[in-house]
């Protein structure tokens, strides 16, 4: 569970109330939240730049792709 970002050192242990097989399946189908947050943080400036460019193009009457 810790490798998937569900618990941090020093916090209460994450309870897994299902069988190991079911838990492995559930964790395997999940998204690693800390990794997703890091990727989103890296993409944020590029997304803002793209939005600003689209807004500029719209103001100047240019067609966006």
Structure tokens at 63: 């067609």
For position 65, what pLDDT does the model report?
Answer: 54
Every domain of the chain and the residues it spans: 1-30, 32-65
Q: Is the pLDDT of residue 64 over 60?
A: no
Q: What is the pLDDT of residues 22-56, one digit of tens each?
A: 888 887 777 888 888 999 999 999 999 999 999 99
Q: Is the pLDDT of residue 63 over 80?
A: no
**Phi/psi at 56 (nearest 5 deg)?**
-65, -45
Q: Give dist(CA 27, CA 29) in Å, integer.
A: 5
DSSP 11-55: SPPPP--S-HHHHHHHHHTS--HHHHHHHHHHHHHHHHHHHHHHH
User: What DSSP state is assigned to residue 60?
Assistant: T
For position 61, what pLDDT does the model report?
Answer: 83
């Amino acid at each position: 569970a810790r490798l998937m970002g569900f618990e941090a050192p020093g916090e209460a242990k994450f309870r897994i109330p299902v069988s190991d097989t079911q838990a492995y399946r559930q964790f395997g189908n999940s998204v690693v939240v800390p990794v997703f947050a890091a990727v989103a943080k890296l993409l944020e400036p590029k997304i803002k730049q793209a939005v600003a460019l689209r807004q500029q193009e719209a103001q100047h009457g240019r067609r966006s792709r």
